[in-house]
């Protein structure tokens, strides 16, 4: 058995804030730290969207 088989790699998906273009982690971080604004994330593509958006501006998916 290979040691790599026993380890599980985790990927951190990153996206850009639609307001300041800073890179933000697409995990349960409800805001952009540099501009301190609330963000929502697409359930499909994990893209950040403005808090007032109803659908994802990238793929049209539902927002969290």
In a domain, 7, yes or no: no
Residue 42 domain boundaries: 12-64
The string of pLDDT tens digits covering residues 38-54 is 888 888 988 888 888 89
Domain count along the chain: 1
Phi/psi for 33 (5° steps) reads -65, -45
The answer to whether residues 16 and 39 touch, using CB atoms and an 8 Å cutoff, is: no
**pLDDT, tens digit, for every residue of 9-18?**
444 556 778 7
Task: Specify the pLDDT at position 61.
Answer: 93
Q: Is 47 within the bounds of a domain? A: yes
Q: Give the whole-angstrom CA distance, residue 60 versus residue 8.
A: 31
Residue in 47, 43, 38 with CA at minimum distance from that of residue 13: 47
Q: How far apart are CA 38 and CA 52, in angstroms?
A: 9
Residue 36 has pLDDT above 90, yes or no: no
Asked whether residue 23 is assigned to any structural domain, the reply reads yes
The pLDDT, as a whole number, for residue 3 is 53
Residue 39 domain flag: yes
- Does residue 42 form part of some domain? yes
């Amino acid at each position: 058995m290979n040691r790599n088989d026993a380890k599980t790699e985790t990927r951190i998906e990153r996206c850009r804030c639609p307001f300041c273009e800073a890179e933000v982690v697409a995990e349960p971080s409800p805001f952009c730290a540099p501009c301190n604004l609330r963000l929502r994330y697409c359930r499909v593509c994990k893209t950040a969207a403005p808090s007032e958006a109803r659908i994802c501006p990238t793929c049209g998916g539902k927002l969290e």
